[in-house]
Structures are given as C-alpha cells and as structure tokens.
C-alpha cells in the first residue's frame, strides 16, 4: 500500500509538467521511492522502511542493521537463559544415559518432568495447574523447550523414544553460543508463537521480534511498564490492533507472546511477575537483562 507521504510526492511530480517522457518519469519516480525507503521514521524509532525490510523478513542477513552476538560464553548463557539451561539438561541426560522412552502420546514421562521441575529453572504462569497435574501439556515452558529443540534439529522423536541428534551432540560440545543461536532461530523463525494461545493473529508479537528486542535494549536500562513496549510495537505495526479487534486484545497478545513467553523463556527481561500471567497482564515494570544487552548489537 502506498502511504500518504509517498502518494503526495508522486502526485506533485506528475502535476509538475504535462509532457513527461516515460523513461524520465520512471527515473524520477524511482528516486522518490528510494528516498522515501531510506528516510528514518519515528514510528520505527529511526529505522527506515528499507532497514525494516531486513529486520522483518531477513533478520539474520548480513545487511540487517540489527545484529546478534554469537561470542558469549557458555557459563554466562546458562546462568541467564532458562530455555537454554533446560534444553542443555535434557540433551546432556540423553547423551549420557541413552534414548528416553516417551508416553503413548509422545510426551515426557511424569517422573522425568518432576525431575525437570524440581531443578527450579523456570516455572511460568501455569505453575499452580501444573503442580496439580504434572504433565508436559500443562507446563507451557517445557512444551516450548521441547518443540524448539525438535524444530532446531537437536532432539528427535522416533518410534516412541526421544533421542539426541548428531547435530545436538556436536552443539553440546561447542562453547554454548552456537546452540543458543540455533535455538533462538528455531523459536523466532520456525516456531509458530500462536500455537500456545487463542489470539486472532499468529504474527502479532512474533513479526518484528528483532526490532522489539532492540527497543527493549534501548529503553530497558530503567524499569518501564510492559505497556510501554506494547505501545511502541503497536505504533510501529498498527495492523495488529485491527486484527485483534481492539487495542486491549492487541496489547494482551503482544505482552503474552513477546514478554511473558519469549523474553522470559530466553532470559531477556527481568520482572517480579514472570511466573504469573495474571500479574504480568497487570503491567509490571520490566528491565532488560545482561544477556539481552550482550546478545543484541
């Protein structure tokens, strides 16, 4: 869709003379489009439409203006990232003890789930319901870790067992940052964030994740309410307000998917309310973590 500013520039050009040669007009129009594409926009926090094209659609391309740091020590990553810590624990256990039998539904057995839970790595907002029924499907964080590992190709399910792959074993022996990057890409690019909820649009919160992490790094050095980031996101991508039918649902969708799940799972934010969805939706104060500040560049 042509935005209003571009439309006005084009109309002004066309009206400036009546006898435009086609080739010359085409060149002038290209200049206007190129200029507009490279113009920093306030809604994108100073990024241009050309910048946003890379950020949204090829976030790991070398020309993307936002980069990620893959030179982070394993100890630092394990200290700060719940998702990586639980993934490594599961992978190391299978690597040491062999393939793990699953339930008839293809899930982890209750005894092992309790073992993971008692590690105290991260509980999530569904802690109360999980403690009553300690199944994999009742612990969204564990579900996300398992799906991410399988999508990333570091774990695999074959005939009722869970096994580590050659790729997984190789990454376990690495310095840690390579595995973290593989899991990060799997979660952000290959996993459908809408799988875990009933919001209307699958892309809300996930589209532009790299831009929003950059925003979080930019402003997260001091505590700010979660709604501050939701407002930034929905100002940049107002289409989600329409798709969620109103501002409240769009705000909730972003907060749940991006903050309460993605950022909390990977260890990118700190908040007293990470473990309770109801409290999270009451707009807690959020700060960025040392991991986010080291990871986004």
pLDDT band at 224 (very low <50, low <70, confident <90, very high): very high
Instruction: Answer for the pair 272, 284: CB distance below 8 angstroms, yes or no.
Output: yes
Instruction: Answer for the pair 145, 86: CB distance below 8 angstroms, yes or no.
Output: yes
Answer yes or no: is 64 within a domain.
no
Q: What percent of the chain has pLDDT above 90?
A: 62
| pLDDT at res. 1 | 41
Neighbouring CB atoms inside 10 A of 219's CB total 16
Instruction: Answer for the pair 260, 197: CB distance below 8 angstroms, yes or no.
Output: no
Same-domain pairing of 50 and 79: no
Instruction: Report which of 265, 256, 290, 273 is spatially closest to residue 87, judged by C-alpha positions.
Output: 265
pLDDT band at 147 (very low <50, low <70, confident <90, very high): very high
pLDDT band at 18 (very low <50, low <70, confident <90, very high): confident
| pLDDT at res. 32 | 67
Same-domain pairing of 245 and 149: no
Tokens describing residue 143: 């579900």
Answer yes or no: is 194 within a domain.
no
Answer yes or no: is 69 within a domain.
no
Considering the entire predicted model, what is its pTM?
A: 0.87
Answer yes or no: is 66 within a domain.
no
Same-domain pairing of 119 and 149: yes
Cβ contacts of residue 161 below 8 Å, gap of 6+? Answer: 99, 100, 101, 102
Same-domain pairing of 255 and 223: yes
Neighbouring CB atoms inside 10 A of 71's CB total 7
Answer yes or no: is 211 within a domain.
yes
Same-domain pairing of 171 and 97: yes
Q: What is the mean pLDDT of residues 214-220?
A: 97
Full domain range(s) for residue 49: 4-57
pLDDT band at 125 (very low <50, low <70, confident <90, very high): low
| pLDDT at res. 20 | 74
Instruction: Answer for the pair 84, 179: CB distance below 8 angstroms, yes or no.
Output: yes
Answer yes or no: is 218 within a domain.
yes
pLDDT at 25 over 70: no
| pLDDT at res. 130 | 80
pLDDT at 273 over 90: no
| 251-261 confidence digits (pLDDT tens) | 989 999 999 89
Determine which helix (DSSP H) or strand (DSSP E) holds 216, and give its type and residue range. helix 209-219
Number of domains in the chain: 3
Instruction: Answer for the pair 275, 218: CB distance below 8 angstroms, yes or no.
Output: no
Q: What is the mean pLDDT of residues 104-128?
A: 86
| pLDDT at res. 268 | 96
Instruction: Report which of 173, 175, 171 is spatially closest to residue 73, judged by C-alpha positions.
Output: 175
Tokens describing residue 91: 């992978």
């Amino acid at each position: 869709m042509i935005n209003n500013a571009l439309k006005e520039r084009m109309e002004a050009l066309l009206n400036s003379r009546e006898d435009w040669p086609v080739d010359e007009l085409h060149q002038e129009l290209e200049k206007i489009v190129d200029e507009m594409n490279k113009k920093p926009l306030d809604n994108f926090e100073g990024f241009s439409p050309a910048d946003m094209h890379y950020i949204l659609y090829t976030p790991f391309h070398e020309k993307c203006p936002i980069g990620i740091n893959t030179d982070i020590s394993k100890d630092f990553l394990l200290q700060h990232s719940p998702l990586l810590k639980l993934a490594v624990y599961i992978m190391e256990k299978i690597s040491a003890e062999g393939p793990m039998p699953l339930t008839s539904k293809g899930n982890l057995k209750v005894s092992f789930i309790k073992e993971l839970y008692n590690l105290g790595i991260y509980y999530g907002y569904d802690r109360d319901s999980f403690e009553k029924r300690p199944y994999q499907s009742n612990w969204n964080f564990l579900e996300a870790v398992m799906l991410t590992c399988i999508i990333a190709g570091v774990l695999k399910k074959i005939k009722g067992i869970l096994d580590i792959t050659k790729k997984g074993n190789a990454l376990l022996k690495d310095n840690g940052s390579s595995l973290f990057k593989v899991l990060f890409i799997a979660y952000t690019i290959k996993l459908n964030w809408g799988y875990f909820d009933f919001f209307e649009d699958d892309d809300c919160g996930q589209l532009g994740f790299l831009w929003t992490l950059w925003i979080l790094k930019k402003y997260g050095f001091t505590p700010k309410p979660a709604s501050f980031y939701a407002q930034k996101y929905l100002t940049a991508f107002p289409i989600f307000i329409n798709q969620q039918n109103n501002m409240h649902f769009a705000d909730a969708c972003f907060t749940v998917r991006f903050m309460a799940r993605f950022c909390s799972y990977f260890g990118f934010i700190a908040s007293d309310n990470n473990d309770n969805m109801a409290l999270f939706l009451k707009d807690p104060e959020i700060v960025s973590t040392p991991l986010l500040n080291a990871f986004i560049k």
